[in-house]
Amino acid sequence: MVPDATFTSYYGRPVVKAAPWEKDIPAYLFLGGLAGGSSLMSAGADLSGRPGLRRVGRLGALVGISASMFALVHDLGRPDRFHHMLRVAKPTSPMSVGTWILTAYGPAAGLAGAAELRPLLPARLRDGLAGKLLGLAARPAGLGAALLAPAVASYTAVLLSDTATPTWHEAHNELPFVFVGSASAAAGGLGMALAPLSESGPAQRLAVGGALLELAAEHKMERSMGLTAEPLHQGRAGQLMQLSKTLTAFGALTAALLGRRSRAAAVVAGTALVTGSACTRFGIFEAGQDSARDPKYTVVPQRERLNARASAGGT
Amino acid sequence: MSNSFFGPLDPAPDAGWVEAPPRKGFFTDTSVCIGCKACEVACKEWNAIPDDGMNFLGSSYDNTGALGASTWRHVAFIEQSKPLGTQDAGFAGTAAGPAATDVLNRAADSALTGDRSRLGTDTNAVDLGMPKVELPGADGAGRADFRWLMESDVCKHCTHAACLDVCPTGSLFRTEFGTVVVQDDICNGCGYCVPACPFGVIDRRIGEKGVTKNVGIAQKCTLCYDRIGDGLQPACATACPTQSIQYGDVDELRERAQKRVETLQAAGVHDAKLYGHDADDGIGGLGAFFLLLDEPEVYGLPPDPIVTTKDLPAMWRKAGLAAVTLLAGAVAVFTAGGS
Amino acid sequence: MAECHPVGFQWVMEAKARGAKVIHIDPRFTRTSAVADTHVPLRAGSDIAFLGGIVKYILDNEKYFREYVVAYTNAATLVGEDFVDSEDLGGLFSGYDEEKASYDQSSWAYERADEAAAAGDREGSGKGNGAQDGGHAEGHAFGSGGPGLDSHEVQRDETLQHPRTVFQVLKRHYARYTPEMVEEVCGVSRAQFLEVCEAVTANSGRERTTCWVYSVGWTHHSVGVQYIRGSAIIQLLLGNMGRPGGGILALRGHASIQGSTDIPTLFNLLPGYLPMPKAGEDESFGAYLDTIRSTEQKGFWTNADAYTVSLLKAWWGEHATAENGYAFDYLPRISGDHSTYQTVLDMNDGKIEGYFLLGQNPAVGSAHGRLQRLGMAQLKWLVVRDLNMIESATFWKDGPEIATGEMKTEEIGTEVFFFPAAAHTEKSGTFTQTQRMLQWHHKAVEPEGDRRSELEFFHLVGQKIRAKLADSTLERDRPIQHLTWDYPVDEHGEPSAEAVLQEVNGRYVSGEKAGRPLSGFAELKADGSTACGCWIYSGVYADGVNQSARRKPGREQSWVAPDWGWAWPMNRRQLYNRASADPDGKPWSERKAYVWWDEDQAKWVGHDVPDFQVGKAPSYRPEPGATGPDALAGDDPFIMQADGKGWLYAPSGLLDGPMPVHYEPAESPVRNPMYEQQGNPTREVFKRKDNLQNPSAGEAGSEVFPYVFTTYRLTEHHTAGGMSRWLPYLSELQPEFFCEVSPEHARERGLEHLGWATIVTARTAIEARVLVTDRVVPLTVGGKVIHQVGLPYHWGVGGGGAIVSGDSANDLFGLSLDANVHIQESKVASCDIVPGRRPTGPELLQFVEAYRSRAGITVETGNTRHTAQEGSP
């Protein structure tokens, strides 16, 4: 740990502002990741002839993306102006990029997910032209969603990192890997928990691989962040991150050892991984907010940077 | 692309303005600020900004606290046990004991940290300890040195403005004067600009919809875009009685600031330094820069801000790599065999 | 100054940028101190000792501007043999009347050249009445000039060696104001005191000038007038009067406070500082004029007849004739003290029926708020004209006394009429600022709703009263019937403010120029051929042009900027500027050249309008027996003074002595270290149960109130808050009443930063949030540590629609007045401070009563004026 730094501030007030975001945003981060991972999983399942896993994946993506879109709009200061996001396309704005990714991904994932609901439709609708088209569109839509899914899962890391929030910004090298790992673990966990055991092999591998990637990337991230890693270990954020790691490690281990043997174990492992993934997003979100509220995390690294530059002969 | 994220440039032409007028900005000379807060009031009057709450903060004479959606000028007050150049605070030889500033600052710290509402209204009382038996100052530890610093803070109108860069709606835009302005009718309140700003300037306005203006959308200083276009000065600079807030062409202000800091240095105010004037800094220079008498963090300013988008290309590369990793992993788990 | 006059303070900052040294003397380290070169924390109420120390330093070190002092001040004038100084009488001067607690000033007079008649029987001497019979009115009736003198034929010794020269009198008087004494009295270290002395003297003389700036921190004292006198003595000794960059600047509390003394809202003055006639004394016009000036003196007051006749012609027009003494008898007579505080006491005694409050909030802004509110509750009617529903309009339902049960709404018979007032942006008119400059402001918008200007209100009141009395045949109603009241009104009913200004300026009423505006007061005649509403303002409408509306930018004119607004008298920007040249009429230095004598043109010329008869050569000497302006020699620059000289020593006119003496404030935990006499022996006291005083040092029970407190304004608010606490943008900047205490004081009393404190005096107890600050320091006074509590006085309890409210600091004060001007001591008093909130309801009364009984307070406490045993004359 970095020792407690001495620093000056203006009456302890924050230098930077914490994002005005509530729980909607970490929920969105998690659900978007879940959706992205699920789309990938369902596409693989589709192509490899695993209809059960495909169904879980597509429905997971549908639910995930719908809920995440709701959360995203709900968090706006002026939800009625959601469509203003579509006025411009700005590569400098991860939120703009994300908006366009979601604009492309959402309908595709939605279509694929809706197709899975086709059997539940009344026969007239199911077998009508629309129903038939839905059935035909399912695979292209699912594959399209899968191609966009990695972007859905990873861009949110840039969304957080492209801020002056110390813990988010300083995490920018590893955070995309943490997030895609977390997305894989969640989607794989979902597949394990809900798909037939017979089809859940890829889900298990996705879950374990994702979990390992997440844990490894997180480990590297915390090492590289210096003082700004501190909020990841403190308070509520620290508890969430600890829980995340425990659940992810436990889920991965359980998945690896028992995930294909026992239905119950698969459910336990899957649930642990999904929950762990949620904890990761909430934990990182909270840690960032904490880092913005305490001027220490803004001032001390900048001051150290200045001092280093000064001692290197700069000004 | 990289230069648009970092380094010196003239922002208005960079943003596509043809034949843009000279870049406009503020030079805030804190050495002559008398803390009258006329800038805060003039700003609110002109821009019809709602009040920001009746909060007694006890942070010296600062009851405003910080810049925010409904505070576009904020005057900071700092009481310190340090001399100001050759100023004689008059405390030597009195019965004054040691300074309480540190205790009071710590108190404010504990009262405000972790409070999302920006300003702790329920500030905690602070006990300075038991009465001392001996005469205060008898031990020779009296606060002979003292100074009271004041600084009117404002949006920096950055050369590389993170708020503008991250805005997904195009609500924030670069004006022909090189300043950064929110279009109230475009902003949808995504709030992304809020954490993006390295100075904690912009914020989303809270309040009752239909009662308070522009609730839910991002608000900050416009450098009085609706005045300077008509040849007027911004309201704050017009109201400032001591020319602590100077408005003009950034190039000319930078020269003036350099001379002022040299004058002060020569007069023995060795703490005088410029902040944000350097086009080679992490922001590409500030459109609103300052002459400070202590380190920036004392005033609540970041000591070495770097616009977050400087790292954006790298971030996108990492995200791309992560996305590819994910895709490859997904392919792998289905092709690696097994059921 | 930065705190209360931030806009004017820009010129101090400008001067500082040009190299001026700025020294700030104040108990607290304020926003002014923050940008000053030096801050001098001193004990509130000790300024005379501080200023006196500087005088002594100047005299001892021969730092005075000898040539200036000899020629332009009364330093060389001999004082009569009967004068005995405070040095020899324990802090009193000769002539003190124990019973009346006032002075017979006759022994202070100059020695006359025709000596025998020296000790005078002249007006002003022996007239000081005790407060109890309410007779002190002279003190501030002298306005822009000094009081009268019997004669300007005085004895002078220009070697300054004669032991009875004012110079030698001064030396003896100030002998005990040593740096050591300053340290003991003020709590200012010798080193710092000497630093100030050196700075002031180093920046005075031929090449440089020093300016003193004060505000109510000097005037709100039981010795306030003598504070100003103290600085006047310094400025005269250093040659800083009448010269650019010199002078004494009085900063006022609002826009146009200067204007409201020039055209006064004071009971004892007529426009242009002409005194109000007194019942029983000024029965004839001649007798009245004799009280203004002696025909034997020098200066322009000898033309008071022309000023008065022209005023009467302005008011009563054709009805003012030579036959009826220009309707002099139409003027009301005053019968005693009708000043604010006497009136409040009279209200409490049921002697007053009705009261107008115009832009004033005495329930919050005046000393002893409780007495103010209780008094108003005794009225039959009260008219309040203000921008907002201030506490003085709502005291009957939500004042603090309602909460304590002392007043019950249903038992208060006062009928309150609230009239919303138009703001300055909603009406045209002038503001007169402290430089005596009138600046016209134009109406920007029409007043909304029921808001009306004061001008319209009074115009209508006048019309209604005149209509009611139109048919009266009573002699007493003639003044109303004959009043000129014919101002043109615009389509909204608003009278023309410009027409009023024209009346103020004056015009010829007969002769070939009839109807033409006057170009200045020199044109005024005592024969009824001119009318002028205020002689000193004559010229503001010269040439038929509103001179006060001129706004030529500074960059387009000289640095004196004579074409911006208009300053009285005669657009002079600096009074007594003849003193900016040496006796021969040459500038003292090129650097400080301002006006000078031009031999070729045979007149005074320069950057400003010369404040001197323009063709009078420096070498002019009056004929023996000359009086008035003709008696002024070519080197008598102080043309309104009865002897043409600046007064280091005031031989008459001041009720509390010819020179300042350090007295302790009326309430002080400190025993006067300088004299046996503790407080001002002539201060007005009111021994009443509703005006109890804390015991001071030397009296039993003084230890109950061990601390000093002072009140002041913050930049963010305006006086009693009527113009700021109703505005969110100002209220949010200082939302709560707070007290400022030092960390040492906080520790001593267990006060917590941001907690609550209760501050107690014999009057009441109030509560405030605690702001512990390093800016307040305890001072060592007489070997004892003195803690000072700072209280901004902007908040009040009640009021309709105020955004922020709180206890009022002025509730803590009792009434003790400077007899010269009836100004209350509200910048210093003693108190106790304890942690926590005050009791509420009737328990508050019990809480305060417990303090009173602990301190043994009776109506006599703190009200003994004469405490010097050897002081009996």
Chain B residues touching residue C31 (CB < 8 angstroms): 34-36, 61, 148, 150
Q: Which of B126, B146, B150 sits opposite C754 (nearest CB)?
A: B126
Is residue C526 situated within a structural domain?
Answer: no
Mutate to test the interface with B, among A9, A10, A172 (most CBs of B within 10 A): A10
Domain that holds residue A154: 24-311
For C169-180, write each residue's pLDDT tens digit. Answer: 999 999 999 999
**SS3 letters across C641-661:** CCCCCECCCCCCCCCCCCCCC
Question: Which token pair is C157?
Answer: 């010794």
Which residues on chain C are in Cβ contact (under 8 Å) with B137? 744, 778
Task: Report residue A118's pLDDT band, with 50, 70 and 90 as the boundaries.
Answer: confident
CB C817 within 8 A of CB C102: no
Number of A–B residue contacts, CB under 8 Å: 288
| In the predicted structure, residue C118 carries a pLDDT above the cut 70 | no
Integer angstrom CA distances of residue C600 from C581, C603, C611, C613, C618: 17, 8, 20, 17, 14
Any domain includes C17: yes
Domain assignment present for residue C458? The answer is no
Contact C33 B148 (CB under 8 A): yes
Say if residue B178's pLDDT is above 50.
yes
Nearest CA-CA distance, residue B46 and chain C, Å: 12
Chains A and B touch (3+ CB pairs under 8 A): yes
H helices then E strands: how many in chain C? 23, 30
Mean pLDDT over the full length of chain C: 92
Would the CB atoms of C732 and B64 count as touching at under 8 Å?
A: yes
CATH number for the domain spanning A47: value is 1.20.1630.10
Q: Of C404, C425, C446, which marks where a domain is finished?
A: C425
A1 lies in a domain?
no
Q: How many structural domains comprise chain C?
A: 3
Cα dihedral sign, A232-A235-A237-A241: positive
pLDDT over 50 at C223, yes or no: yes
Query: Is 80 exceeded by the pLDDT of residue A6?
Result: no
Residue with tokens 């031989």, as numbered in its chain: C651
The pLDDT, as a whole number, for residue A69 is 92
> CA of B329, closest CA in chain A: separation in Å?
7
Instruction: Look up tokens 């009271």; give the residue.
Output: B148
Judge whether B143 and B97 are in contact, CB under 8 Å: yes
Which residues on chain A are in Cβ contact (under 8 Å) with B166? 92-95, 162-163
pLDDT at A259: 85
User: pLDDT by residue (tens digit) across B46-69?
Assistant: 999 999 999 999 899 999 999 999
> Is the pLDDT confidence value at C574 over 70?
yes
Model confidence pLDDT, tens digit, residues C620-639 = 999 888 877 888 999 999 98
Interface test with B, best of A93, A155, A158, A214 (most B CBs within 10 A): A93
Token pair recorded at residue C232: 């006047």
Residues of C in Cβ contact (< 8 Å) with B264:
none
Cα atoms found within 13 Å of the Cα of residue C237, Cβ hemisphere only:
28
Please give the pLDDT value at position B209: 87
What Cα–Cα distance (Å) separates residue C223 from each residue in C107, C248, C576?
21, 17, 26
> Residue B141 pLDDT more than 80?
no
pTM of the model: 0.93
Q: Calculate how close chain C gets to B311, using CA atoms only, in Å.
A: 39
Q: Which domain holds residue C35?
A: 1-40
Q: How far is B232 from chain A (nearest CA, A)?
A: 31
Which chains pack against B, by 3+ Cβ pairs within 8 A? A, C
State how far residue B85 is from chain A, nearest Cα, in angstroms: 21
Nearest-by-Cβ selection for A92 from B302, B304, B309: B309
In a domain, A18, yes or no: no
Whether A111 is in a domain gets the answer: yes
| Assigned domain for A307 exists | yes
**CA distance, residue B107 to nearest chain C CA (Å):** 9
User: Do residue C192 and residue B36 have CB atoms under 8 angstroms apart?
Assistant: no
Q: Do chains C and B touch (3 or more CB pairs under 8 A)?
A: yes
In the prediction, which pLDDT does B1 show? 40
Q: Last residue of a domain, which of C375, C392, C425? A: C425
How far away is chain C from the Cα of B35, in angstroms, using its nearest Cα? 7
Map residue C834 onto helix, strand or coil: strand
- In this structure, the strands spanning C595-598 and C603-606 are antiparallel
Residue B4 has pLDDT above 90, yes or no: no
Q: Please name the residue that has the structure tokens 């968090």.
A: A75
| B225-230 contact pairs (CB < 8 A, 24+) | B225/B175, B225/B177, B225/B179, B225/B181, B227/B46, B228/B24, B228/B177, B229/B177
Q: Which of A41, A53, A92 should we substitute to test contact with B (largest number of B Cβ atoms within 10 Å)?
A: A92
| Choice between C148 and C123, residue whose per-residue pLDDT is larger | C148
Tokens of B43: 């700003």
Chains A and C touch (3+ CB pairs under 8 A): no
Q: Which residue of B has its CA nearest to C785?
A: B95
As a whole number, the mean pLDDT across chain B is 88
The residues, ordered by sequence, that sit 6+ positions from A124 with a Cβ below 8 Å of its Cβ are none
Looking up residue C754, the CATH number of its domain turns out to be 2.40.40.20
Cβ count within 10 A of residue C111: 22
Q: Is residue A8 part of a domain?
A: no
In this prediction, residues C692-703 reach a mean pLDDT of: 95
Shortest CA distance from C777: residue in chain B: B96
Instruction: Pick B165's closest partner by Cβ from A45, A92, A146.
Output: A92
- Phi/psi region, residue C405 (left: phi>0; alpha: psi -120 to 50; beta: rest), is left
In a domain, C612, yes or no: no
Q: Does C29 touch chain B (CB under 8 A)?
A: yes
If one counts the domains in chain A, the total is 1
User: What is the DSSP pairing of strand C354-358 with strand C274-275?
Assistant: unpaired
- What is the per-residue pLDDT for B98? 83
Q: What angle do CA C7, C9, C10 make, to 5 degrees?
A: 75
- pLDDT tens digits, one per residue of C257-270: 999 999 998 999 99
Residue A292 lies in a domain: yes
pLDDT value of residue B307: 94
Chain C, window 803-862: residues with a beta carbon less than 8 angstroms from a chain B beta carbon: 803-804
Q: Rounded distance, CA B297 to CA A155, Å?
A: 32
Alpha-carbon distance of B116 to B121, in angstroms, equals 11
Distance from CA of B68 to the nearest CA of A (A): 9
- Give the residue on A whose Cα is nearest the Cα of B120: A13
User: CB contact, 8 Å: C738 with chain B?
Assistant: yes
Q: What is the percent of chain C where pLDDT is above 90?
A: 87
Q: What is the pLDDT of residue B5?
A: 76
C-beta atoms of B58 and C754 within 8 A: yes
CA distance B270 to chain C (A): 15
What are the structural domains, with CATH classification, of chain B? Answer: 2-106+142-334 (3.30.70.20)
- Under DSSP, the state recorded for C309 is H
C: neighbours with 3+ CB pairs under 8 Å?
B
* Residues of chain A with C-beta less than 8 angstroms from the C-beta of B57: 11
Out of A10, A80, A173, name the one closest to residue B299 (CB).
A10
Residues 234-273 of A with CB under 8 A from B: none
- The residues, ordered by sequence, that sit 6+ positions from C486 with a Cβ below 8 Å of its Cβ are none
pLDDT tens column, B270-304 = 999 999 999 999 999 999 999 999 999 999 999 99
Q: How many CB pairs under 8 A join B and C?
A: 199
Mean pLDDT on C135-141:
43
Whether C236 maps to a domain, the answer reads no
Q: Which residues of chain A make contact with B191, given a CB cutoff of 8 A?
A: 19-21, 75-77
Terminal C-alpha separation, chain A? 29
Check residue B261 and give its pLDDT: 97
Partner-chain residue, chosen from B51, B100, B111, that has the shortest CB–CB distance to C729: B51
State the first-to-last Cα distance of chain B, in angstroms, to the nearest integer.
47
Residue A14 lies in a domain: no
Closest residue on chain A to B207 (Cα):
A77
In the stretch 179-208 of chain A, residues with CB closer than 8 A to chain B read: 179-180, 183-184, 188, 198-199, 201-203, 205-206
* Mean predicted confidence (pLDDT) in C271-284: 90
d(CA B151, CA C859): 50
Instruction: Give residues with Cβ within 8 angstroms of A242, minimum separation 6.
Output: none
Does residue C816 lie within any of the structural domains?
Answer: yes
Amino acid, single-letter form, for residue C280: G
Q: How far apart are CA B53 and CA B119, in angstroms?
A: 9
% of chain C at pLDDT higher than 70: 94
User: Does residue C5 sit within a domain?
Assistant: yes
SS3 for C69-86, per residue? Answer: HHHHEHHHEEECCCCCCH
| Distance separating the N- and C-terminal Cα atoms of chain C | 42
Of C787 and B98, more confident: C787
- Please state, in angstroms and as integers, the Cα–Cα distance from residue A13 to each residue in A117, B114, B127, B193, following that order: 52, 9, 20, 19
**Which chain B residue lies closest to C835 (C-alpha atoms)?**
B127
Candidates B45, B88, B242; nearest CB to C10: B242
